[in-house]
């Protein structure tokens, strides 16, 4: 317990006052003996004992009353755990419920919880607007209430908190996700208790002409059905829409950007036993690789191939689209590892396995002495990968078992694919982001971002990082965004739940209890008056 007005505690020095008053009124009686009243002696002694007990009780009551009054004016307070309510502020709380959204109903519900601190699931300050944040919950059981949409949270994720569910209009459908397989698939969910028929429309362009495809779905209650559309043969952007509006129109449209996988034709110049590991990395026998690999002992029709790898062969005059590898290399005592990797180079930029790549051991390598651009060195300072000019790489180590751990590592296949696409001059990945995830692009100047559908233009300032200049961008509205230069990426709404641990501690609330001290003091004074009159 603590005191909010501790100066009033000096009033405790007044506690002896009732005792001093008691001593002041106490007087000694002079005893005079009369034989005629000797028979009343025993009765008088009993009354005197009761009077003495009454005086002691009155003294105690007055002292305690004064004590509680002093402590009450000092404003005592105690700490107690404050109840916490998590209010869902993710995008689907925009679902209509009558004339209000679920988020507006949630605010009204939260305001009725007494002695409860309201926190937003997105981590923002309360109150705030309901936008496109994903819904998140803390992993620890510290909240007392969770206010969200009916049926959104599985029971296993609620913990000990009390779930307050808000019900919206039943007419609610959503396009949850898209998939590009042998066909173009759109997954549509029915959030109503009745089986319903919905028209799903795909909008895109074909041969520079607007094109639409329709799919009629009969969706069972509280389940997901799949709309199937023709697959695209060329790069395109578009959207899939549920034609009828419902209680939440935000999830009735799903945007996409599609780029067919870039296939490559690769020629390996060498003998079969020397090209074994490289061939299987680029085109696994049972994999779904888009790279076609041909082996030849001599260079034939180089213009037909996107990349050419020379194994222990002299490089032709033109270095474009080529990879040079030794078959055998000089043995080195001990082990070598990659070091001083040029991480801003396209084959390493954004490669998340750089730390692991620097730990791979090599027992052989060819000593290469050159003034060419070295993009990776061994731990002894010798070149590991060099670039004579853009579009050509030279390895100083062979791709076989004796050369070390590289071909057995999980990095071998993805790195060789990145190298193949880089040498072929084709992009390796297409960008497809969702709201809430920062978009990160490497740029060399200010860029203008244009939202194609709906129209929106944003000017952004690049940030300089250790390996170049980057732009960080999180779109505010879903749509298809285009960076000046032609790169497109889709921004969609996510229906997935995420549950990171919110960086919040148990909050304690200070509560004043002075009124109870005043009440006790009043009760003691009333008791003192009653006893004094007896």
Domain parsing of the chain, residue ranges? 2-78+512-533, 83-169, 173-258, 264-424, 433-492
Kindly report the pTM of this predicted structure: 0.57
Kindly report which listed range (152-161, 162-171, 217-226, 521-530) carries the lowest average pLDDT score.
152-161
pLDDT tens digits along 379-431: 988 899 998 887 889 998 999 888 889 998 989 999 999 999 999 988 765 56
Cα separation, 146 vs 158, in Å, equals 8
| Predicted local confidence at residue 506, as pLDDT | 46
pLDDT, one tens digit per residue, over 115-158 is 788 888 777 777 777 665 555 555 455 678 888 888 777 665 56
> Cα-Cα-Cα-Cα dihedral of 118, 158, 165, 193, to 10°?
150
- The mean pLDDT value for 433-460 works out to 72
Q: Measured on CA atoms in the order 357, 358, 363, 369, is the torsion positive or negative?
A: positive
When pLDDT is cut at 50, 70 and 90, the band that residue 79 belongs to is low
Structure token pair of residue 294: 């041909």
Average pLDDT over residues 164-182: 84
Look at residue 523 and give its three-state secondary structure.
helix
- What are the C-alpha distances in Å from 364 to residues 340, 404, 490, 518? 18, 7, 46, 88
For domain 173-258, which CATH number applies: 3.10.20.30, 2.60.40.10, 3.30.420.40, 1.10.10.520?
2.60.40.10
What confidence score (pLDDT) does residue 503 get?
Answer: 46
Q: What are 482's strand-pairing partners?
A: 450, 488
What's the pLDDT at 500? 46
Give me the sheet containing 463-465, strands edge to edge: 439-442, 468-473, 463-465
How high is the pLDDT of residue 94? 83
- What CA–CA distance (Å, rounded) separates 249 from 172? 8
Sheet containing 307-311: order of strands = 291-296, 264-269, 307-311, 322-325, 392-395, 383-387, 373-378, 331-339, 361-364
Q: Which CATH number fits domain 264-424: 1.10.3720.10, 3.10.580.10, 3.30.2010.10, 3.40.50.880?
A: 3.40.50.880
Nearest to 88 by CA among 153, 169, 159: 153
Q: CA gyration radius for the chain?
A: 41
């Amino acid at each position: 317990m603590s005191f909010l007005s501790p100066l009033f505690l000096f009033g405790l020095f007044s506690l002896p006052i009732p005792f001093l008053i008691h001593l002041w009124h106490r007087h000694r009686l002079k005893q005079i003996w009369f034989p005629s009243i000797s028979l009343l002696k025993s009765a008088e002694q009993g009354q005197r004992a009761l009077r003495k007990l009454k005086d002691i009780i009155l003294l105690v009551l007055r002292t305690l009353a004064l004590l509680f009054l002093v402590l009450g004016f000092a404003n005592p307070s105690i700490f107690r755990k404050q109840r916490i309510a998590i209010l869902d502020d993710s995008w689907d709380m925009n679902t209509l419920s009558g004339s209000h959204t679920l988020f507006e109903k949630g605010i009204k519900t939260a305001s009725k919880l007494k002695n409860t601190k309201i926190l937003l699931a997105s981590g923002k300050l309360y109150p705030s607007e309901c936008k496109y944040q994903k819904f998140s919950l803390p992993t620890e059981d510290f909240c007392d209430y969770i206010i969200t949409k009916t049926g959104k949270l599985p029971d296993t994720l609620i913990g000990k908190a009390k779930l307050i569910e808000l019900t919206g209009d039943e007419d609610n459908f959503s396009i949850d996700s898209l998939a590009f397989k042998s066909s173009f698939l759109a997954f549509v969910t029915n959030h109503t208790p009745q089986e319903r028929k919905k028209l799903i429309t795909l909008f895109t362009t074909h041969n520079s002409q607007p094109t639409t495809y329709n799919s009629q779905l009969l969706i069972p209650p509280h389940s997901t059905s799949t709309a199937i559309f023709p697959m695209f043969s060329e790069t395109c952007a578009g959207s899939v829409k549920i034609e009828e509006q419902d209680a939440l129109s935000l999830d009735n449209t799903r945007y996409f950007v599609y780029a067919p996988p870039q296939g490559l034709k690769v020629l390996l110049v060498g003998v079969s036993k020397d090209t074994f590991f490289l061939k299987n990395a680029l085109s696994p026998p049972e994999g779904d690789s888009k790279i076609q690999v041909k082996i030849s002992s001599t260079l034939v029709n180089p213009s037909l191939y996107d990349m050419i790898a020379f194994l222990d062969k002299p490089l032709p005059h033109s270095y474009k689209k080529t990879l040079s590898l030794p078959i055998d290399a000089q043995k080195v005592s001990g082990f070598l590892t990659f070091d001083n990797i040029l991480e801003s180079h396209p084959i390493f930029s954004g490669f998340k396995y750089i730390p692991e790549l620097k730990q791979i051991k090599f027992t052989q390598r060819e000593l290469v002495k050159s003034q060419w651009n070295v993009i990776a060195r061994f731990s002894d300072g010798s070149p590991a990968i060099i670039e004579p000019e853009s579009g050509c790489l030279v390895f100083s180590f062979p791709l076989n078992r004796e050369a070390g751990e590289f071909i057995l590592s999980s990095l071998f296949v993805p790195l060789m694919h990145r190298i193949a696409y880089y040498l072929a001059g084709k992009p390796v990945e297409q960008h497809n982001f969702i709201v809430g995830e920062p978009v990160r692009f490497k740029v060399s100047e200010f860029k203008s971002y244009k939202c194609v559908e709906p129209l929106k233009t944003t000017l952004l300032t690049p940030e300089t990082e250790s390996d170049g200049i980057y732009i960080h961008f999180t779109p505010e509205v879903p749509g298809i965004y285009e960076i000046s230069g032609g790169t497109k990426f889709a921004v969609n709404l996510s229906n997935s739940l995420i549950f990171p641990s919110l960086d919040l501690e148990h909050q304690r609330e200070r509560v004043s209890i002075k009124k109870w001290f005043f009440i006790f003091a009043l009760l003691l004074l009333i008791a003192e008056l009653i006893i004094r009159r007896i």
